[in-house]
Structures are given as C-alpha cells and as structure tokens.
Chain A
C-alpha cells in the first residue's frame, strides 16, 4: 500500500481500530460483582436478610458521614451514594432490597431533617433499643422531657400525605385509608413493640411515616439520600422538615409554654 507522505505515521483523531487493552479481561461492573458475591454467600448458606439489616444500619452511618461530617464535594457524594445504591440494589435484589433500601435512606433523611434542618440533636439507638424496641434513633427535643424514640416507616404512596408524625397507641389507627392498605400490618406490629418498650424505659414513642422515593410525591431521593428539594416553582427545600415540624406541633411533642 502506498503511504501518503503528508500523513504517514501521524496519529489520526479517531483511531481506525480500537487499541488493544492492556489486559483482555474487562473489569466486571458493580452489579456483576454484587451478584457474584451474593451467589457465593448464598451457596454457603449465609442469610442475606440478616446482612441487609446490618448493612442498612452501617449505610445510614455512611450517609451521615458523607452529608454531615465530610467536606467532600456534592458531585463526589452523589457518585459515592450512587455506587452504594447500584451495588446494594443488586446484592439485595428481591424482597430484601425494598426493606433494605427504604430502611436506610428513609432513616437517614428523617435524621437529617430533624438535626440539620430543625436543629434537634439526634442519637443512634443502642442494639438493645433497636432489637427489642424497634427504635431507629432518638431525638432530644430540648424541652427537659424524656427523649423521643423514633421509628421510621418509608412506604410507597399514591397521592400526597400531609401528616407524617404519629403517636403510636393514639393516632396510628387513623392512618389515611390508602396508606393503611400498604403498611397496616408492618407498622402496627412494630409500633406496638415501640410503645411497650418506651413505657418500660421512659421514652416518648413517635412513628414517622414518609413516602418512599418511588411514591407519587416522595420526600427523599435516591440520588443523594437527602430530603427532596423542590425549590423551583414548587414547595420549599425543607419540605420533609416542615412536615415533621408541623406534626411535632400538632401532636403535642412541642409546646409553647
């Protein structure tokens, strides 16, 4: 073949053939690695649901670190959260995924709204409080009263729901009908545990029910794990915090005396 003397040995803008990779093996994707590890664990009879509960708690702390304690850039945080979402979505595929996913993102979003947007100190529950009382975390309303033991329920919801704060044993029985269909059994059994535990240990029980990210009007998102921002032409950027505040006020958790 005759070479063009003007272009001979010059590097074209677009290579005519793709360069051979240094290594013929392509790296498996996040999802492939997650699936591979799950297959291995299942073959060794490791209960995936047990890992889901533990990893959920760990990832709440990871989100707290990313959004509250670290000085990482917003884009780096989103990258990290998305990596977590992709990997663990695949790893906990199936019924465990919903439980896992909604659990840790919902818990973090509420803790963030309470502390970072409403200004109340939030504390992790102990293992005993978590296991026996189904307490997700505790919040100090700084009124000299006992700590509030909070249980979060993140549920798929069509339409909107103004009320997010409930007092178990008082008004959880009056959940909106549509919500009742989705969560009645799950909420009532664990809220009874919460109420009994709080009576015994002098906490104030509170259940916060929030629409999950796949709901019509979600209050937190899966891009960042943070409460939603609807600053443009809609509601303000602290929608979740506003609703919690409204609930605390209406349900008598805060008073003006």
Chain B
C-alpha cells in the first residue's frame, strides 16, 4: 500500500490550540501527580507561552 506523503506546503499546524479550561485541566493533572500525554504537555507549553495572564502556580 502506498504512503501518502505530507507536503510542507499543505500540512496543517499539528498542535491544536486548547482552551483555558483544558490548560487548567492539564496543569491540575500534573499537580496531582498524574502524567498527561506528551501532546497535552506541548499544548500546555504553547498555551502558557501565548497567554501571559495564565497562572501556573496558585497565589498564596
């Protein structure tokens, strides 16, 4: 079976953006000692980069 090659001209940005709620969910998973999927961690990284208002640590 032939492989369909993905051209750099037509491919989509593979990392889907996430909502604030999703970002909080991934963050909470981490804080509770769970291990999110690599893709979720990458999404969280991008979310934190793009959203300066998002807080990673809770305020005392």
- Which of A27, A51, A62, A115 touches B13 (beta carbons < 8 Å)? A62
A68 touches B41 (CB 8 A): no
In this assembly, does A40 line the interface, its C-beta being within 8 Å of a C-beta of chain B? Answer: yes
Q: Known contacts A51-B38, A55-B45, A87-B49; decide if A40 and B30 are in contact (CB<8 Å).
A: yes
B11 touches A64 (CB 8 A): yes
B41 touches A41 (CB 8 A): yes
Q: Known contacts A51-B45, A91-B45; decide if A28 and B52 are in contact (CB<8 Å).
A: yes
Give CA–CA (A62, B14) in the complex, Å: 9
Interface residues of B in 15-43 (CB under 8 A from A): 15, 27, 30-31, 33, 35, 38-39, 41-42
B39 to chain A: closest residue by CB: A54
A44 touches B33 (CB 8 A): yes
Hey, which chain B residues are within 8 Å of A223, CB to CB?
Answer: none
Hey, which chain A residues are within 8 Å of B31, CB to CB?
Answer: 40
Give CA–CA (A37, B6) in the complex, Å: 32
A137 touches B52 (CB 8 A): no
Q: CB-CB contacts of A57-89 with B at 8 A, as 1s and 0s?
A: 010011011001100000000000001100110
Total CB contacts across the A-B interface at under 8 A: 83
A169, chain B: closest CB distance, angstroms: 25
Give CA–CA (A58, B48) in the complex, Å: 16
A61 touches B13 (CB 8 A): yes
Chain A contact surface mostly? helix
Hey, which chain A residues are within 8 Å of B56, CB to CB?
Answer: 33, 36-37, 40
Hey, which chain A residues are within 8 Å of B3, CB to CB?
Answer: 126
Give CA–CA (A124, B7) in the complex, Å: 6
In this assembly, does A121 line the interface, its C-beta being within 8 Å of a C-beta of chain B? Answer: yes
Central interface residue in B6, B35, B44, B54, by most chain A CB within 10 Å: B6
B59, chain A: closest CB distance, angstroms: 8
Hey, which chain B residues are within 8 Å of A50, CB to CB?
Answer: 38
A37 touches B45 (CB 8 A): yes
A227, chain B: closest CB distance, angstroms: 15
Q: Known contacts A30-B49, A44-B30, A44-B35; decide if A37 and B8 are in contact (CB<8 Å).
A: no
Hey, which chain A residues are within 8 Å of B5, CB to CB?
Answer: 123-124, 138
In this assembly, does B53 line the interface, its C-beta being within 8 Å of a C-beta of chain A? Answer: yes
Hey, which chain A residues are within 8 Å of B39, CB to CB?
Answer: 54
Hey, which chain B residues are within 8 Å of A137, CB to CB?
Answer: 8
In this assembly, does A34 line the interface, its C-beta being within 8 Å of a C-beta of chain B? Answer: yes
B8, chain A: closest CB distance, angstroms: 5
B16, chain A: closest CB distance, angstroms: 11
8 residue pairs of the A-B complex, CB under 8 angstroms, read A33-B48, A37-B44, A44-B30, A46-B35, A54-B38, A83-B49, A83-B50, A124-B8
- Residues of B at the A interface (CB closer than 8 Å) are 3, 5-9, 11, 13-15, 27, 30-31, 33, 35, 38-39, 41-42, 44-45, 48-50, 52-54, 56-57, 59
